[in-house]
Amino acid sequence: MEIIQRKVCLLGDFAVGKTSLIRRFVHNKFTTDYQATIGVHVSRKEVILENAEAKTVGLILWDLAGGETFSQMEEAYYRGSAGALLVADSMRSETFGILNTYATTFMQVNPEASLVIVFNKVDLMPDVAELERRAKALSARWGAPHFFTSALTGTQVDSAFHELAESVTRT
Amino acid sequence: MTHESAADSVESKELEALREILLTQDRAQLQALQRELAALRIQSESPERLVAMLDPLISEILAERARSHPDEVAEAIRPALMVGLKQQIEKERDVLIGLLTPIIGQTVQRAIAEAIESLARRVDARMERMLDFRNIWWRLRARLSGIDDAELVLRESLPWHPEHVFLIHNQTGLVLAEATTGDILEDSDLIAALLTAIRDFSRESFKGEPGETLHHIQFGERQILLEEGKGAYVALVGEGVPPADAYQRLRETLVTIHQAHGALIRDFKGDAGTGETLTPMLSPLLQPIEEPEPSKPPVLGLVALLLALLLLCSTCSWLGYSASPRVLARLAPTAVLYITQPTSTVTPTVMPSPTPLPSPTPSLTLTSVPTDTPTATPSPTATATATPTALPSSTPTATPTPQPKLGIMTGNVYVRAEPDPTAPHTGKVILLGDTIRILERRDPWIHVVFPATGEPKIEGWIPARWVRVQ
């Protein structure tokens, strides 16, 4: 089976759960203690695509530090990415709008890249109706599918990464 | 009543006697036990007495326990032992040093002796091939730079063991190809990505001159040499001291790879198959520096030396012959020698045809041209050593149309306005792997334009050592 490699970035504000999503996806684990990512953390996970051309995609996941601290490095780290997972915290609405900033910068560096939007920590949300409305708006703006995930329970984590793997092999 | 009390008294005495008979022994035992108990109580309430009682037993118990459960005992006493050791070292450092010196000293002595012995073997081997042409050239260069022969041999003898080499895509940080002297690393993708992150971090953090990049990472004995090309960079991981020409070899490999597979690298997105194409080009970087074979005498070197001496003798005798006025008078009026360089413009040099002997440089050609005003140059010029291609020509004045001479950059280099290291930068950098057009050469400088074809965007002078002329 053909194995291809793709670099993808996880982008989003601090403490939205980027590292937890990777930990759940790569190691199927979750921990409650929060440690801020310093600079960048790189992981690798192979995804088998069961489409017409069966392929194995080696996703090289660049988990970038959120927030302002490392913003000057962003463009250098974005370079060469085939796609990005934009991550927001379902409980913190201020983390939704900032995704536009991340997406804009990212697409300037990689105009042909694919995006997938993720609203994490849905296990804490009593009602996702309002969230759904805002998610649709973001999805429409960037032409990107969205997922409601929980790194704690594993809800839709694999689906989101799978979708990203599919889309980066098309670009 | 009196009768009854007398009877009771008799009965009581008898019972007492019976008790005496039955319980005397038990009472004695009970009293003894009470005394022992009292003694134990006194001992247990007094730590000094308790220690005195247990002291003879502790060592026995510990010894027995250590024999039957050594791991448990070690685990139990380790924390106390470590604390005790630390405190003892702090308190009585000198005593400890005095105790350890003989042991450590011997170990260090042995290690140094082995290292020196190994070094001596390498130095001997190097000395044995001193007559190798490459070595002679290398030594000559070192001498001119003021480096002593001994230092040079020592430097060359330091070991270098390359282990892995990665060709990493500049943009994506993905591995294009890799080669290793051992097993292929499972995490090579992660290593490549993190190396790229470190490189980008350094570049962004220390925003230096254009073209500046991370070249070297050291971790203990392990070194990572990095050299960057236009589309990819190479990372060589090894142990020891890299040879002097390590970066030169990396640059040459990068240039060769970019020349041969530039499009493959440019269009790379992570698809499979690049490794098969590119790995064979990386593998030579893992070959150890050619080691001499100490057992073989330097036959080639000796033969080369003899040939050189022979050549020198023939040149000397030829000089003596050609300088004689009789020979000059006979030869000078009739011969013109043209020495032509393969591609550059030709400036005819009029010289006497000096020799009827077979020429030591067979590429020289004599062409006889009758001239009315012969001009004789009595001595041959040294320019004949350039490997010229002789063009028999009856029209020596013809100047061929200059072909554009191209070169490939072997490094990222500033362009200067003048052929002078102190001349100001033009602010432009030509990058490794770029093809340039050479306008003029003034050693050690070259006047170039970039790009080689089309409208020039950069023009200026760069050091010739950064250009591989095509």
Q: How does pLDDT run across B372-409, given as a tens digit for each residue?
A: 434 344 444 433 343 444 444 444 444 455 567 888 88
Of B89, B118, B152, the residue at which a domain comes to its end is B89
Total structural domains in chain A? Answer: 1
Using a pLDDT cut of 90, give the percent of chain A over it: 64
Q: Tell me the three state secondary structure of residue B402.
A: coil
User: What CATH number has the domain bearing residue A163?
Assistant: 3.40.50.300
Contacts of B190 (CB under 8 A, 6+ apart): A42, A43, A44, A60
In a domain, B313, yes or no: no
CB A78 within 8 A of CB A25: no
Using DSSP bridges, classify how beta strands A114-120 and A83-89 pair: parallel, antiparallel or unpaired. Answer: parallel
Per-residue model confidence (pLDDT) at position B362: 35
Q: Across the interface, do A44 and B272 touch by the CB < 8 Å criterion?
A: no
Contacts of B272 in chain A (CB under 8 A): 2-4
Q: Across the interface, do B201 and A39 touch by the CB < 8 Å criterion?
A: yes
State the Rg of chain B over Cα. 46
In a domain, B118, yes or no: yes
Q: Are residues B79 and B123 in the same domain?
A: no
Contacts of B197 in chain A (CB under 8 A): 39-40, 42, 62, 77
How close, in Å, is residue B201 to chain A by CA atoms? 7
Total structural domains in chain B? Answer: 3
Question: Which pLDDT band, with edges at 50, 70 and 90, does B243 fall under?
Answer: confident
Please determine, for residue A27, whether its predicted confidence score (pLDDT) is greater than 50. Answer: yes
Per-residue model confidence (pLDDT) at position B320: 54
Per-residue model confidence (pLDDT) at position B408: 87
Question: Which pLDDT band, with edges at 50, 70 and 90, does B307 fall under?
Answer: confident
In a domain, B21, yes or no: no
pLDDT tens string A44-80: 999 998 775 668 899 999 998 877 555 667 888 899 9
Interface of chain A toward chain B, CB-CB under 8 angstroms: 2-7, 39-40, 42-44, 58, 60, 62, 72-73, 76-77, 79-82
Q: Which residues in B220-242 are b (16+ Cβ under 10 Å) and which e?
A: eeebbbbbbbbbbbbbbbbeeeb
Per-residue model confidence (pLDDT) at position B156: 66
pLDDT tens string B335-375: 333 333 333 333 333 333 333 333 333 333 333 333 343 43
Contacts of A7 in chain B (CB under 8 A): 172-174, 193, 270
Indicate the range of B111-125, B213-227, B404-418 predicted with least confidence. B111-125
Q: Are residues B185 and B116 in the same domain?
A: yes
Choose from B89-93, B351-355, B435-439, B451-455 the range with maximum mean pLDDT.
B435-439
Number of residues that make up chain A? 171
Per-residue model confidence (pLDDT) at position B42: 83
How confident is the prediction for chain B on average, in pLDDT? 74
Segments forming the whole domain that contains residue A67: 3-170
What Cα–Cα distance (Å) separates residue B114 from each residue in A160, B6, B118, B120, B181? 59, 112, 6, 10, 25
Question: Which pLDDT band, with edges at 50, 70 and 90, does B270 fall under?
Answer: confident
Choose from A138-152, B73-87, B298-312, B432-446 the range with maximum mean pLDDT.
A138-152
How close, in Å, is residue A46 to chain B by CA atoms? 12
Please determine, for residue B215, whether its predicted confidence score (pLDDT) is greater than 80. Answer: yes
User: What CATH number has the domain bearing residue B440?
Assistant: 2.30.30.40
Question: Which pLDDT band, with edges at 50, 70 and 90, does B334 fall under?
Answer: very low
Best CA proximity match to B229, nearest among B410, B417, B435, B463 = B410
Q: Are residues B83 and B121 in the same domain?
A: no
Give mean pLDDT, residues A135-157.
94
How close, in Å, is residue B215 to chain A by CA atoms? 18
Please determine, for residue B146, whether its predicted confidence score (pLDDT) is greater than 80. Answer: no
Q: Tell me the three state secondary structure of residue A33.
A: coil
CB B363 within 8 A of CB B390: yes
Best CA proximity match to B194, nearest among A91, A40, A134, A55 = A40
Contacts of B193 in chain A (CB under 8 A): 7, 42, 60, 62
Segments forming the whole domain that contains residue B154: 93-286
Question: Which pLDDT band, with edges at 50, 70 and 90, does B332 fall under?
Answer: very low
Choose from B5-19, B77-91, B249-263 the range with maximum mean pLDDT.
B249-263
In a domain, B266, yes or no: yes
Please determine, for residue B207, whether its predicted confidence score (pLDDT) is greater than 70. Answer: yes
Q: Are residues B65 and B97 in the same domain?
A: no
Contacts of A43 in chain B (CB under 8 A): 190
Per-residue model confidence (pLDDT) at position B383: 39
Q: Are residues B109 and B183 in the same domain?
A: yes
Q: Are residues B132 and B272 in the same domain?
A: yes
In a domain, B347, yes or no: no
Q: Are residues B230 and B135 in the same domain?
A: yes
Of B286, B315, B336, the residue at which a domain comes to its end is B286
Per-residue model confidence (pLDDT) at position B401: 53
Choose from A29-38, B171-180, B326-335 the range with maximum mean pLDDT.
B171-180
Question: Which pLDDT band, with edges at 50, 70 and 90, does B126 fall under?
Answer: low
In a domain, B34, yes or no: no
Using DSSP bridges, classify how beta strands B232-240 and B222-228 pair: parallel, antiparallel or unpaired. Answer: antiparallel
Best CA proximity match to B283, nearest among B410, B182, B165 = B165
Q: In terms of CA atoms, which chain B residue is nearest residue A112?
A: B269
In a domain, B421, yes or no: yes
The secondary structure of B116-167 as a DSSP string is HHHHHHHHHHHHHTTTSHHHHHHHHHHHHTT--HHHHHHHHHS-EEEEEEEE
User: What CATH number has the domain bearing residue B208?
Assistant: 3.30.450.70
Q: Are residues B219 and B75 in the same domain?
A: no
Q: Are residues B229 and B118 in the same domain?
A: yes
Q: Are residues B70 and B116 in the same domain?
A: no
Q: Across the interface, do A80 and B193 touch by the CB < 8 Å criterion?
A: no
Question: Which pLDDT band, with edges at 50, 70 and 90, does B53 fall under?
Answer: confident
Per-residue model confidence (pLDDT) at position B384: 39
Q: Are residues B64 and B157 in the same domain?
A: no
Q: Which residue has the higher pLDDT, B466 or B172?
A: B172
How confident is the prediction for chain A on average, in pLDDT? 88
The secondary structure of A59-74 as a DSSP string is EEEEEEPPSSTTGGGH
| CA B173/CA B190 separation, integer angstroms | 9
In a domain, B296, yes or no: no
Strand partners, A89: A120
Put simply, whether B213 touches A (Cβ < 8 Å) is no
Q: Across the interface, do A7 and B272 touch by the CB < 8 Å criterion?
A: no
Q: Across the interface, do B173 and A80 touch by the CB < 8 Å criterion?
A: yes
Q: Are residues B99 and B68 in the same domain?
A: no
Please count the other Cβ atoms lying within 10 Å of the Cβ belonging to residue B203.
Answer: 16
Per-residue model confidence (pLDDT) at position A138: 92
pTM of the complete model beyond 0.80: no
